[in-house]
Amino acid sequence: MAHLTGAAAAELTLDPSDWNKQRQLAHRMLDDIFNHLETLRDQPAWQPLPEHVRESLRGPLPRTPQGEERAYLDFLNYVLPYSTGNRHPRAWGWVRGSGTPFAMLAEMLAAGMNTHAAGGQQAATYVEQQTLAWLAEIMNMPANASGIFVSGGTMANLLGLAVARHAKAGFDLRKEGLQSSHQKLVIYGSTETHMWAQKSVELLGLGRSALRQVAVDENFQIRPDLLQQQIRADRAAGLRPITVIANAGTVNTGAIDDVAALYEICKQEDLWLHIDGAFGALLKFSPEYRHLVAGIELADSLAFDLHKWMYLPFEIGCVLVREAAAHADAFAAQASYLGKDTRGMLANGLPFSDRGIELSRGFKALKVWMSLKAYGTEMHGQLITQNVEQAAYLESLVRRHKDLELLAPRVMNVVCFRFHPAGEANQQRLNSINREIVLRLQESGEFVVSGTMLSGDYAVRIANTNHRSRMEDFDALVRAVLSQGEKLVSA
């Protein structure tokens, strides 16, 4: 709240007039959020917003101060209890991380520093550079690879594709733009590639028709033979193929494309290999399961989320680019007011401004740096291994029960299955039953799960990137699916 202060009575500030009172409120906030996190198992995984809460959140524009205490109470009453529940131990819907108390505190410290993290001579620049180097090492990328932290996988993938577009266009795209009369550029991915790819080709001016969606096999992996056929057909039609998108963990089933085969195609065809490793790339932390993503280090660019399988608070994604020069060539720009110098605050320039589209950047790297220092790669690897083994356990429960059916191979941490009672063969009815099961599980407050369509069948989809889950939670999930399914069948 703004306060009038001392001799400068006509001047305002948003610093408190009573720092002790502000400190007391801050300690109360920390105590409340720690109590909330400590008791997550006793709370609903998710609950709908009551109408009185919706009405409170539609309040009029505050024109006069209501005070920090009132603002905080409104948060406690109307915001904190009503989230998407991804921090709950029984939250496995979509692919979202669960957050950690320590990284939350690191986020608070970054906000307190409030530094502009585009570069310059400050500790934040060196923290980000070192953290990116650590991640490149984990991913077996070259030591001199470039990279940048962004909001999440969509932005990381978009930047990777933008670098590919510039590097493989065959002309000075930044100068001439796509309106010049050059060949139409074409990008390839599988039918299982996340929707970020469609958004990206649209935003990059290539148009939706530039994205070739190649069919997958029975394991939901892209078919290299069909990919090669499509590339050759496009070249024959006068188009210019530039990029192949490989999946290291598809959103639907967790499928991992044959990266080695795609790398060979890219090498033969002089294409850029971009890998969407949104959550799968983080298997590199796990000695037991890193073999599943062998080859991702061959990528020209690799995107992944750290708010998923590194369990950090939103938002934190990363893109690594093999050739630092290609990364900078796609984005670097000069301005006199940001001139690079050999001394002073702008010594060595603003490297992170030159690796993306943002100039203003928060200190995203701090929570990654502090979490890696606090827990090390070994602890993170053990947690990822635990998640995969929990998913394997759920798969075993599904396989053992006569009324449950696995709908896709389980590769890592994603299990897609359905309730399928004996004698029920009608696909439409089965889809309706399983869709209703998902909704009832959500509305029960016990579980956050999601659903998806696989070859026309509706699946209950469990994606486990949760460090709070226990084996017993998956026993409870199976019991709940069977109970709800039996109720629906007998209704």
Are 296 and 302 in contact by the 8 Å Cβ rule? The answer is yes
Distance (Å, rounded) from C-alpha 280 to C-alpha 255?
9
User: Is 60 exceeded by the pLDDT of residue 2?
Assistant: no
Name the amino acid, one letter, at 339.
Answer: G
Spatial CB neighbours of 203, under 8 Å, sequence gap ≥ 6 = 158
What is residue 36's predicted lDDT score, i.e. its pLDDT?
Answer: 97
Angle in degrees, CA 151, 391, 288, rounded to 5: 80
Average pLDDT over residues 412-438: 96
Average pLDDT over residues 187-209: 97
What is residue 9's predicted lDDT score, i.e. its pLDDT?
Answer: 61
What is residue 6's predicted lDDT score, i.e. its pLDDT?
Answer: 52
Percent of the chain beyond pLDDT 90?
91
Name the amino acid, one letter, at 454.
Answer: L
Distance (Å, rounded) from C-alpha 35 to C-alpha 80?
12
Are 266 and 244 in contact by the 8 Å Cβ rule? The answer is yes
Q: Quick one: pLDDT band at residue 279, thresholds 50, 70, 90? A: very high
Spatial CB neighbours of 483, under 8 Å, sequence gap ≥ 6 = none
What is residue 328's predicted lDDT score, i.e. its pLDDT?
Answer: 95
Q: How far is residue 441 from each of residues 82, 450, 457, 479, measured CA to CA in Å?
A: 16, 9, 19, 11
Angle in degrees, CA 88, 92, 93, rounded to 5: 110
**Alpha carbons within 13 A on the beta-carbon side of 35:** 9
What is the Rg, in whole angstroms, of the alpha carbon atoms belonging to the chain?
A: 25
User: Is 70 exceeded by the pLDDT of residue 98?
Assistant: yes
What is residue 3's predicted lDDT score, i.e. its pLDDT?
Answer: 54
Other beta carbons less than 10 A from residue 149's beta carbon: 28
Q: Quick one: pLDDT band at residue 51, thresholds 50, 70, 90? A: very high
Q: What single-letter DSSP state applies at residue 280? A: G
What is residue 181's predicted lDDT score, i.e. its pLDDT?
Answer: 74
**Parallel, antiparallel or unpaired: strands 240-247 and 185-190:** parallel
What is residue 8's predicted lDDT score, i.e. its pLDDT?
Answer: 52
User: Is 90 exceeded by the pLDDT of residue 203?
Assistant: yes
Lowest-pLDDT choice from 2-11, 229-238, 287-296: 2-11
> What CATH number labels 104-375?
3.40.640.10
Cα 47 from chain centroid (whole Å):
23
**Alpha carbons within 13 A on the beta-carbon side of 85:** 25
Distance (Å, rounded) from C-alpha 315 to C-alpha 308?
10
Nearest to 29 by CA among 122, 104, 124: 104
What are the counts of helices (DSSP H) followed by strands (DSSP E) for the chain? Answer: 14, 13
Q: Quick one: pLDDT band at residue 340, thresholds 50, 70, 90? A: confident
- Tens-digit pLDDT profile for residues 378-396: 999 999 999 999 999 999 9
Encoded tokens for 277: 């490793």
Other beta carbons less than 10 A from residue 35's beta carbon: 9
Nearest to 133 by CA among 368, 327, 354: 368
Average pLDDT over residues 208-219: 97
Percent of the chain beyond pLDDT 70?
98
Give one DSSP letter per residue of 174-190, joined into a string.
HHH-TTSS-PPEEEEEE
What is residue 469's predicted lDDT score, i.e. its pLDDT?
Answer: 98
Q: Quick one: pLDDT band at residue 487, thresholds 50, 70, 90? A: very high
Q: Which bin fits 432, alpha (ψ -120 to 50), beta or left (φ > 0)?
A: alpha
* Buried/exposed 53-86: b ≥16 CB within 10 Å, e otherwise: beeeeeeeeeeeeeeeeeeeeeeeebeeebeebb
Nearest to 189 by CA among 179, 204, 200, 178: 200
Q: How far apart are the first and last CA of the chain?
A: 57
What is residue 336's predicted lDDT score, i.e. its pLDDT?
Answer: 65
Are 404 and 481 in contact by the 8 Å Cβ rule? The answer is yes
The reported pTM is: 0.94
Mean predicted lDDT score pLDDT of the chain = 95
- Tens-digit pLDDT profile for residues 122-165: 999 999 999 999 999 999 999 999 999 999 999 999 999 999 99
